[in-house]
């Protein structure tokens, strides 16, 4: 099952990870994320439950409903512990609602789960994944609650809060008799079409009268005749809470399709219902209602997404906006604190309160930290609350931070509105509601409350108000457990492993540091908390190395191919260790390497440090020189180490060559070598500027040697090439003088340089340098993945002369993936789209991003290779850039199980098969018929040995089950029950490919997982007359003897061919001749290709001569052009009575004719489509997408009467 593929991500991973090599922990092991700055909890989406989440949040923010539900204790509702007892009456739905509301109020998590609640509804994953109408849910949920609360003090909860009545009257114009009918309602359904707003709709319903006259008279019971009359309706009783359902969905009887009404429909924040009521003598305040919830639908009438705007009546959340003038960066805050107090945060407060960002994050009720932790502002009303968080001598911390974080928003007088979209909760302003008057994203349900309903003062900003003690205790315990788990997880995320290299045990040799004795004795392991300072780390190392004497210098180092290289010396002992973990060297290694030495001298040798002088290990090739000084025709290859910032000319000095030419290998593929000479003016450039990396090859030629035969006499060099080029096309949708340019490059040229040159030569805007990328173009003109700017052409595997597209948008970074995806099926995928995501993103989040990109609502989706672990990252699943993901509707079996569609296969006129009288229109065995053995002789016909394949049902089975188990389970399906097949041994199993039998599954006792069926495999079962035991070398073929003179074949007969002696045409001809008792030389055979309606004769004289060995090699029928396999049809011709060369039948001629007509029809369709795309056809002529059948919504409730 994958019912939670679209469930919101409820876990987090620390942003401070030590290097890329650190193993990622599975998100499922981490506790849920805490609440965000709003201090309100969302609800996770189970796949299609956004409509449920919106309604539940509305009920939760109806305090009177929430507290009435909380007032029902365990003595009335029962308890969860007794729910499995047979005689106990546990009202599970109200209990689950109580717990959910308590979690939304008190549990410190970003989003609550409704899984237990939907389980109490009796819903399966199907219901959880299927979206329904929220108006329908509102009525069904209220009905379920009324049923659940029968016999309790809350039996009238729904009736008390939401029940109202309407009085319908008809007044006779003759006798003035009034006919009345009262109607109950829990919600008012109002029209949207041709109505300007809610008040206009209520006026039409409850003020205007409908007159019966002329041809439409009313029959008065008192007058006993047809008379003129007037019909009207009024609101008789108003509930405390008024629910209004907007009829946005209508049916177009002309087009015969549903549509959504998206016209402007206004509704007031406060409404006076007095004009619409029957009794108007009460005080005006009795008729005033305030809007407090708006459920919004985004999408069309066949799908979409729900979220809700809610007014926080009790001010439970932090209603705060991040205004631009109310922000300050964390760095600026630290600097101002240092300036004002004369000491840095780390030195004075870090040991007690942690790093500044961590302190601000832990006090989210006071400070509002941005998502990227770069800016901070002060939340409202936090002064008094914050005082208690500090000791008296630390009051200056708060005062400084508060003063430097700028002012507060005066928001007490404003209504507090929030947009709750599943897990996410964001504050909004009251004026934002007007944006939901019209459009595809517009109001769908409105909730009003009487303005006279006042909340008690003690409920304001008090989430514990009204919550029963047992739920308070449960939530307190859960919060303690969450806090403990987060602390453990935080500690685990912040511990990192250090490799400590001891300076005295290293010496500088050949450009890098190397251990004097061995690597094992020179390295110490240390695990440390990166939140601590470098001073703490230094102290820990002193304690670890008790033998150390004198001072100690710590440096960040990294193992490179040349040895150990020092990048940075650590000096600021007050800084945290994470700064060391973020250095460039450590990012490229699996763990942080710390070098320990006396300043810049190791073993008395002065060494260079830093990224600029990182040692490069190069392979240098040059001609050997004899002792007499003469050059031999032998090339010497030797490794040499040079600093990255050294000039290329130093390689000549290292080889004591006074003057020469330096060549670098510009081979584009592995194993290919193509050398490019470095011009004299570039000899002053550094190795890094020339694009050389560790392992690069450099060839040196003495300038006195003018003979270039060196590059042709030896097989591993090809030629000396001059600078080549790449073609860059302008695909930025911006006008330029040229559509494409050629850019000179070598295999070591960096992609960034090519992109900048292309922008300059195309004379495009300079701004494109920050927002463009290069994408290879394949032979079909398709744009491939963008190439990272930091890659060389060799690293990007780009060949010289290839085409690149200059496109808008940045290329993915080294930690990101560029993915293609399409909606549809594996047979008919939809339009391909592109996304860029982090490689650490989870499957669930990736699917959410793809759906948002495609503009589709929340649907059930899946990758073609099914991704069971929704919390697993794309990196863990080894998904790489350029992969294509296919999203399909469907439902997965549990992990380790297969859902196998079963087909019934019956060859036409079989020999050796069970046969019954059948309804040949659908190939289902008739009721009550017994299968009998078919005779070997059948009526002749022109139909090759194909059969009917009929889908009969699905079988869910474990991957560890054997093939016989699958057959046994399939025999319980309807057609097999009637077939009379004695046992699974009388069934032959095939895979289904293109609605035909494909691969034959031979061994009954072989586990299914060993067949490597895949999760999209379909199986067809063929009934047999007797048990079959095929060997591993046996091939099952359908043979048909050709009938002379009539272009037809006798019925098919199964033939088993032993291929132990080879898959040769001669061997097959002998087997067929022996089977039909014919002379081998008078037997001719051909394979039938049903998809082409063609026969291909199989000749034993077909031979292939290889070019190298010049030996004759007999063709294998497994290869081209026959590709012979189990189940293929073999036509047999007896040359004694039929010497015609033709194997085809009349059916083949008909089939080829239909294929030609189909090809012609497709051509005409493409032509028509081209005309339609040109705008010559109206869009109204385009047929709509077929819609699936809508499923009903229900909630299962036990009986409590």
Q: How far apart are CA 967 and CA 985, in angstroms?
A: 8
Neighbours of 275 (CB within 10 A): 14
Q: Other C-beta atoms within 10 Å of 1001: how many?
A: 21
Q: Determine the Cα–Cα distance for residues 527 and 188; give it in Å rounded to an integer.
A: 65
Question: Quick count: other Cβ atoms within 10 Å of Cβ 1036?
Answer: 18
Mapping DSSP to helix (H, G, I), strand (E, B) and coil, where does residue 646 land?
coil
Classify residue 485 as exposed, middle or buried by CB count within 10 Å of its CB (0-12, 13-18, 19+).
Answer: middle
The beta strand positions in 717-875, using DSSP E, are: 720-721, 724-730, 740-745, 772-776, 803-808, 816-823, 833-838
Helices (H), 191-288: 198-206
- Catalytic member of 18, 50, 277, 732: 50
Distance CA 464, CA 1136 (A): 99
**Total count of residues recorded for the chain:** 1201
| Distant-in-sequence, close-in-space partners of 84: CB < 8 Å, separation ≥ 6 | none
CA-CA distance, 143 to 1192, in Å (whole number)? 15
CA geometry: angle at 1161 spanning 1160 and 1163, to 5°?
Answer: 65
- Euclidean distance between CA atoms 649 and 606, whole angstroms: 23
What residues contact residue 610 under an 8 Å CB cut-off, 6+ apart?
Answer: 567, 568
Q: What is the DSSP string of 123-163?
A: --HHHHHS---HHHHHHHHHHHHHHHTTTSTTTTHHHHHH-
Intra-chain end-to-end CA distance of the chain, in Å: 36
| CA pair distance 598, 585, nearest whole angstrom | 20
Give the chain's count of helices (H) and strands (E): 28, 60
Spatial distance between the Cα atoms of 922 and 948, rounded to a whole number of angstroms: 9
Q: By the 8 A CB rule, do 631 and 702 touch?
A: yes
Read off the tokens for 522: 């020179």
Nearest to 466 by CA among 456, 474, 476: 456
Query: Of all helices (H) and strands (E), which one includes residue 412?
Result: none
Residue 820 and residue 802: Cα distance in Å, rounded?
A: 22
User: Residue 1133: which residues within 8 A CB-CB, separation 6 or more?
Assistant: 1041, 1042, 1083, 1084, 1085, 1086, 1140, 1143
Query: DSSP 3-state assignment of 929?
Result: coil
Q: In whole angstroms, what is the distance from residue 25 CA to residue 46 CA?
A: 23
CB-CB contact of 153 with 231 (8 Å):
no
| Cα–Cα distance measured from residue 791 to residue 750, given in angstroms and rounded to the nearest whole number | 6
The answer to whether the CB of 471 falls within 8 A of the CB of 479 is no
Q: What is the CA radius of gyration of the chain?
A: 40
**Which among 297, 305, 363, 565 is annotated as catalytic?**
305
Helix (H, G, I), strand (E, B), or coil: what is residue 851?
Answer: helix
Tell the residue number behind the tokens 């008057």, with chain if given: 437
Question: What is the number of alpha carbons within 13 Å of residue 1128 lying toward its C-beta?
Answer: 21
**Residue 658 three-state SS:** coil
Give the 3-state secondary structure of residue 1066. Answer: helix
Q: Which two tokens stand for residue 1026?
A: 């007797």
Reply yes or no on whether 50 is catalytic: yes
Distance, CA of 35 to CA of 477 (rounded, Å): 17
Catalytic positions, please?
Answer: 50, 305
């Amino acid at each position: 099952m994958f019912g939670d593929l679209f469930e919101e991500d409820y876990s987090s991973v620390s942003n401070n990870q030590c290097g890329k090599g650190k193993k990622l922990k599975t998100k499922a092991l981490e506790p849920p994320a805490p609440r965000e700055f709003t201090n309100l909890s969302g609800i996770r989406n189970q796949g299609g439950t956004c409509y449920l989440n919106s309604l539940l949040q509305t009920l939760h923010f109806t305090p009177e409903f929430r507290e009435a539900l909380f007032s029902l204790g365990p003595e009335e509702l029962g308890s969860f512990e007794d729910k499995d007892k047979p005689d106990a009456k546990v009202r599970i739905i109200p209990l689950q609602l109580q717990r959910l509301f308590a979690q939304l109020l008190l549990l410190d998590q970003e989003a609550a789960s409704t899984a237990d609640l939907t389980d109490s509804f009796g819903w399966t994953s199907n219901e959880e994944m299927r979206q329904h109408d929220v108006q329908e849910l509102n009525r069904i949920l209220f009905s379920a609650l009324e049923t659940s609360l029968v016999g309790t003090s809350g039996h009238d909860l729904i009736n008390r809060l939401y029940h109202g009545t309407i009085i319908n009257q008809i007044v006779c114009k003759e006798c003035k008799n009034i006919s009345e009918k009262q109607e109950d309602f829990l919600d008012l359904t109002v029209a949207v079409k041709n109505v300007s707003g809610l008040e206009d709709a209520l006026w039409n319903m409850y003020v205007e009268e409908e007159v019966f006259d002329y041809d439409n008279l009313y029959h008065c019971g008192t007058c006993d005749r047809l008379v003129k009359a007037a019909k009207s309706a009024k609101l008789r009783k108003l509930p405390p809470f008024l629910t209004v359902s907007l009829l946005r969905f209508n049916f177009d009887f002309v087009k015969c399709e549903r549509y959504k009404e998206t016209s402007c429909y206004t509704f007031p924040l406060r409404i006076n219902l007095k004009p619409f009521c029957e009794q108007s003598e009460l005080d005006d305040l009795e008729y005033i209602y305030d809007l407090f919830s708006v459920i919004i639908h985004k999408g069309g009438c066949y799908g979409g997404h729900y979220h809700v705007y809610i007014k926080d009546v009790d001010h439970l959340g932090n209603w705060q906006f991040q205004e631009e003038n109310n922000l300050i960066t964390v760095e600026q805050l630290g600097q101002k604190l240092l300036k004002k107090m004369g000491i840095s945060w780390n030195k004075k407060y870090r040991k007690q309160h942690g790093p500044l960002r961590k302190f601000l994050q832990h006090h989210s009720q006071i400070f509002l930290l941005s998502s990227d932790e770069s800016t901070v502002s002060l939340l409202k009303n936090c002064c008094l609350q914050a005082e208690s968080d500090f000791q008296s001598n630390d009051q200056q911390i708060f005062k400084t931070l508060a003063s430097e974080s700028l002012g507060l928003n005066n928001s007490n007088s404003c209504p507090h509105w929030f947009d709750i979209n599943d897990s996410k909760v964001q504050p909004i302003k009251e004026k934002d509601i007007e944006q939901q008057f019209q459009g595809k994203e517009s109001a769908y349900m409105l909730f009003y409350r009487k303005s006279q309903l006042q909340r008690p003062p003690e409920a304001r900003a008090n989430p514990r108000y009204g919550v029963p003690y047992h739920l308070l205790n449960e939530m307190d315990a859960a919060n303690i457990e969450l806090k403990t788990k987060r602390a453990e997880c935080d500690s685990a995320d912040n511990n990192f492993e250090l490799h400590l290299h001891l300076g005295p045990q290293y010496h500088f040799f050949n450009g890098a540091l190397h251990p004097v004795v061995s690597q094992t004795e020179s390295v110490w392991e240390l695990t440390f908390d990166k939140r601590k300072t470098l001073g703490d780390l230094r102290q820990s190392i002193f304690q670890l190395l008790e033998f150390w004497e004198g001072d100690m210098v710590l440096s960040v180092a990294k193992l490179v191919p040349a040895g150990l290289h020092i990048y940075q010396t650590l000096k600021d002992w007050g800084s945290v260790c994470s700064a060391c973990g973020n250095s460039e060297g450590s990012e490229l290694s699996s763990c942080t390497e710390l070098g320990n030495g006396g300043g810049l001298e190791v073993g008395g040798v002065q060494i260079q440090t830093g990224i600029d002088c990182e040692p490069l290990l190069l392979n240098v090739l040059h001609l050997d020189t004899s002792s007499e000084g003469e050059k031999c025709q032998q090339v010497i290859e030797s490794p040499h180490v040079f600093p990255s910032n050294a000039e290329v000319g130093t390689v000549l000095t290292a080889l004591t060559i006074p003057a020469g030419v330096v060549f670098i290998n510009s081979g584009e593929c592995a194993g290919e070598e193509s050398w490019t000479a470095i011009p004299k003016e570039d000899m002053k450039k550094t190795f890094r500027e020339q694009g050389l990396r560790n392992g690069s090859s450099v060839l040196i030629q003495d300038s006195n040697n003018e003979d270039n035969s060196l590059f042709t006499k030896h097989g591993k060099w090809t030629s000396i090439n001059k600078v080549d080029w790449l073609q860059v096309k302008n695909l930025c949708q911006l006008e330029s003088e040229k559509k494409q340019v050629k850019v000179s490059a070598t295999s070591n040229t960096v992609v960034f340089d090519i992109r900048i040159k292309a922008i300059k030569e195309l004379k495009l805007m300079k701004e494109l340098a920050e927002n463009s990328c290069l994408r290879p173009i394949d032979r079909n003109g398709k744009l491939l993945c963008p190439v990272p700017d930091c890659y060389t052409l060799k690293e990007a595997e780009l060949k010289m002369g290839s085409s690149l597209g200059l496109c808008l948008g940045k290329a993915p970074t080294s930690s990101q993936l560029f993915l293609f995806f399409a909606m549809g099926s594996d047979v008919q995928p939809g339009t391909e789209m592109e996304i860029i995501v982090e490689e650490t993103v989870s499957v669930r989040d990736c699917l959410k991003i793809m759906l948002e990109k495609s503009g589709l609502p929340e649907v059930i989706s899946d990758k073609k290779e099914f991704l069971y672990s929704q919390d697993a990252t794309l990196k863990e699943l080894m998904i790489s850039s350029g992969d294509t993901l296919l999203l399909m509707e469907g439902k997965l079996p549990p992990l380790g199980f297969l859902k196998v569609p079963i087909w019934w296969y019956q060859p036409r006129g079989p020999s050796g098969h069970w046969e019954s009288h059948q309804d040949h229109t659908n190939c289902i065995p008739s009721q009550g018929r017994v299968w009998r053995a078919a005779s070997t002789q059948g009526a002749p016909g022109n139909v090759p040995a194909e059969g009917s394949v009929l889908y009969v049902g699905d079988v869910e089975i474990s991957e560890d089950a054997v093939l016989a188990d699958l057959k046994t389970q399939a025999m319980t399906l309807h057609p097999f029950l009637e077939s009379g097949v004695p046992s699974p041994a009388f069934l032959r199993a095939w895979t289904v490919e293109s609605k035909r039998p494909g691969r034959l599954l031979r061994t009954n006792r072989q586990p299914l997982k060993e067949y490597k069926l895949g999760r999209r495999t379909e199986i067809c079962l063929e009934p047999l007359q007797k048990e079959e035991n095929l060997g591993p070398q046996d091939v099952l073929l359908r043979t048909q003897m050709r009938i002379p003179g009539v272009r037809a074949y006798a019925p098919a007969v199964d033939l088993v061919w032993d291929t132990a002696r080879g898959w040769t045409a001669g061997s097959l001809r002998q087997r067929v001749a022996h089977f039909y008792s014919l002379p081998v030389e008078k037997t001719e055979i051909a394979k039938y290709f049903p998809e082409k309606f063609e026969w291909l004769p199989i000749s034993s004289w077909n031979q292939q001569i290889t070019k190298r060995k010049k030996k004759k090699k007999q063709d294998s029928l497994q290869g081209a052009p026959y590709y012979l396999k189990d189940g293929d049809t073999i036509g047999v011709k007896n040359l004694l009575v039929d010497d015609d060369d033709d194997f085809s039948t009349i059916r083949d001629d008909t089939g080829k004719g239909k294929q030609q007509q189909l090809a012609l029809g497709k051509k005409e369709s493409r032509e028509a489509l081209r005309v339609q795309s040109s705008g010559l056809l109206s869009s109204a002529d385009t047929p709509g997408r077929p819609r699936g059948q809508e499923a009903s919504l229900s909630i299962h409730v036990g009986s409590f009467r």
